[in-house]
Amino acid sequence: MDNFACYHSRMRGFITRFALVFSVVALAGQVPATARDAEPAGTRWSFAIHGGAGTISREDMTPEEDAAHRAALQAALDAGSKVLDEGGTAMDAVEAAILLLEDEPRFNAGRGAVYTWEGSHELDASIMDGATRDAGAVAGVTNIRNPILLARKVMTDSPHVMLAGKGAEDFAVEQGIEIVPPSYFDTERRREALERMKARQLSSLDVDLKFGTVGAVALDTAGNMAAGTSTGGMTGKRWGRVGDAPIIGAGTFADNRSCAVSATGWGEYFIRVGVAHEICARLRLQGYGAGPVPHTSSEDGEVMVAVALPLVSEVAQKIADEVMADVKQLGGDGGIILLTPEGHALFSFNTAGMYRGRATSDGVNEVAIYGND
């Protein structure tokens, strides 16, 4: 009986250990991966920006244009990084970077906005606080120098999430947001694109070649995240068309529990997929966090299993790539920037290139344009 009891006890221990291993591996189930070491502790702060995605190749870019775009991206990256490095909030960092990108005519936001079919400009923007999931957005404004400022005012000083058109502009006046004449947004390059579109009966995609929407995502030293996006839309848009940029969950989303995302691309498809929210929701529902599964011990102190979950960065990248593949399958192009609560700054795009940059408190500081940068 003693031998049988001993054997029975050992078998129960084996079965328990097997069940624990199986249950831990099952947690990683949807993301094929072997057990890995834990990731390092999260970065103190992290930041990423984009200036649009599309048909961007080295062959079509002069050295001067390449350098100018990289300098503009670096300036915006530095502006947001400075806020974070000095202990500022993720919201302030996102705003600081997008302000510079809206004032830079090389990008399709603010001063560099494309023309509508009628020859005007209609601007969209949104911003979201990952700590509270408060959000603000504006659509179809025509005289707001920096739509991202107005989007934030909608969030903080109105009971609403989105305002559009004249109502948004009236609210801007009440809030002291800078108003400019519509001609402020005029640029010769964008005007030529509209004229070429009309003369040759081209589509917006034929003349735009890239989606110049700008955006930023940030993780601050308090562990809070934020995301923001701003755009002029698509060349020749009509009937008050609104894309994904001002739509919370499509072009912008931030949630401290999962991630912060800003998107750029063919808005109709990003809206249909709900790209920004889809990525964050999938990541949250996976239940992943930084670090390994804690060791589990038996009653006598024996360590039974210590299995690490797949690395957060790998999980997040896989999810982002899957969602962008879904956009591509429907016929849409574009890209996203993504931050995780651990500070991983990631990109995913299904186009030839994307204007982008990232920086962290660990010393990462880089900008890129082409797919093979």
Cross-strand pairs, 129: 226
Sort strands 162-164 and 135-141 into parallel, antiparallel or unpaired. parallel
Using alpha carbons, select from 292, 266, 208 the residue that is nearest to residue 35.
Answer: 292
CA dist., res. 159 & res. 298, Å (int): 54
209, 55 in Cβ contact below 8 A? Answer: yes
Report the number of secondary-structure helices (H) and strands (E) in the chain.
Answer: 10, 15
Is 340 catalytic? The answer is no
In angstroms, rounded to a whole number, what is the distance separating the alpha carbons of residues 95 and 88? Answer: 11
Whole-angstrom distance, CA of residue 283 vs CA of residue 273: 15
> Tokens in use for 324?
């962008």
Do 135 and 161 meet the contact criterion of CB atoms below 8 Å apart?
yes
Q: Which of 89, 142, 213, 235 is catalytic?
A: 213
**Selection from 26, 72, 51 nearest residue 305 by Cα:** 26
- Token digits of residue 280: 């964050």
- What is the rounded distance in angstroms from the CA atom of residue 327 to the CA atom of residue 103? 30
Report the C-alpha gap between 125 and 189 in whole angstroms: 22
Residues known to be catalytic: 213
